[in-house]
Amino acid sequence: MGFLRLVARIMGRISTFRSYQFVLLLAAALAVVAFYYFGSERQNFSSTTKRIKQTQATHNGNRNDADLTVDTRLSHQAGLEERREEVRDVGGESEGSKKSGDSGDQRYHALMMFTKVDKSRSLQDKFRVAMLSMVKYGDFVEGEILVLHFVSDQASKELGERMLKEFLLDATFKYEVFFHDVAALTQKLFPIVEAMQKHFSAGSGAYYSDAIFFLSVAMHHIMPESLTRIVQLDLDLKYRTNIRDLFQEFDQFPPGAVIGITREMQPVYRHTFWQYRKENPQTRVGDPPPDGLPGFNSGVMLLDLGAMRDSALYNQLLEPSNVAKLADQYRFRGHLGDQDFFTMIGMEHPELFYSLACGWNRQLCTWWRDHGYGDVFQMYYRCHGLVYIYHGNCNSPIPDD
């Protein structure tokens, strides 16, 4: 039956009605019916859903389905105010970073732990000091980019993004910022470092959440192979020189070294190795510099990820049986995470480490001076030469410039 005949029949039937308003209402209804039957572009729920799924499929095609970590990247080029947010995978590159890489830019990667910062005014203040001093002295040449990585929870990430817009406002160098999800990284790390946690964690046993404190130990397994060097930094630092100069220390690594790190400036490991020292009175383990082995401090670390991947010795030391063997040999039980692990293997294999000058991590904590080691404290604490980075560990005040 044709549409016109249908209209005629209906109109004939309603001719008996004298309500003019009813006729108008029915005519409007018929117009709607005609639109859906004869419109050139019929739309329905199924077709719309199909398009949404196609769009999602196209988007997901650029992702590594095995890794669903979402990171935010903020980028800046000197002289520009643009900020853009992109979705990328940990262990991969965003489209934007690929484009920059193709242009020949050289990247300097630095990573900081940024968890629970939203809950701590103290951490926020330390972050302010660190970033403002980094920006103050930061100076990179054309074609170089400072890439800042933050391992963060969602609430801290949102706060960090707002703070960085202020702190990086006066940066004269190009930079990029990535936030890595702490839960996703912990999930990757736990199987690798679970066995060592009982030896170097504050609690008894291997706590899942503690795994993130061993990120530097296994970062060569977490980051993409295209990333070969990264500097890991504590938040409680104050920079007194161009951070670019710190990266130049990689070029000083001797053959076989995989990590650049500064010695510990308190008698922490004189105390931690007390039983081993008692059983081995002639040992240098835990003794002060220059002839002793005082251990390491992880506030500033240069991680040669390429060398870490290639070092058969280093990767053998990560195996649970070898961790347990060394911990038993040195009667070692620590609570400082990666710092303890590096200190312990450094006693046995110092060739894996490049000794950074103490000025690159001038620790200010004096806790052990007042807790039983006042007579030997200055032997560990003294640091001759220029100070490039102050480290306000154990909430120590940092000198003004």
Does the pTM of the predicted model rise above 0.95?
A: no
HSE, side-chain direction, 13 A CA sphere, residue 187: 10
Q: Which pLDDT band holds residue 104 (cuts at 50, 70, 90)? A: confident
Say what the pLDDT of residue 207 is. Answer: 60
* Beta strands, E only, 133-265: 144-152, 174-181, 229-233, 237-239, 259-263
Say what the pLDDT of residue 325 is. Answer: 96
Please check the confidence at residue 62 and state whether its pLDDT lies above 70.
Answer: no
Between strands 71-76 and 174-181, the pairing is: antiparallel
Span 58-75, mean pLDDT? 38
- Is residue 329 in a domain? yes
Span 105-116, mean pLDDT? 96
- Is residue 105 in a domain? yes
Q: Which pLDDT band holds residue 75 (cuts at 50, 70, 90)? A: low
Looking at the 3D structure of the chain, how many domains does it have? 1
Please check the confidence at residue 321 and state whether its pLDDT lies above 80.
Answer: yes
Percentage helix, strand, coil for the chain under 3-state DSSP, each rounded to 5: 50, 15, 35
- The CATH number of residue 257's host domain is 3.90.550.10
Please check the confidence at residue 33 and state whether its pLDDT lies above 60.
Answer: no
- Domain ranges, residue 110: 71-395
- Is residue 207 in a domain? yes
Cα–Cα distance for residue pair 142/129, rounded to 1 Å: 26
Say what the pLDDT of residue 210 is. Answer: 80
Say what the pLDDT of residue 353 is. Answer: 98
Q: Look up residue 53 and give its two tokens.
A: 């799924």
Say what the pLDDT of residue 71 is. Answer: 45
- Is residue 13 in a domain? no
Query: 290 preceded by cis ω (within 30°)?
Result: yes
- Is residue 18 in a domain? no
Please check the confidence at residue 48 and state whether its pLDDT lies above 70.
Answer: no
- Reference 150, options 175, 172, 173, 171; nearest CA is 175
- Is residue 37 in a domain? no
Q: Which pLDDT band holds residue 236 (cuts at 50, 70, 90)? A: very high
- Is residue 341 in a domain? yes
Crossing angle of helices 182-200 and 320-329, in 10° steps, is 40
- Is residue 400 in a domain? no
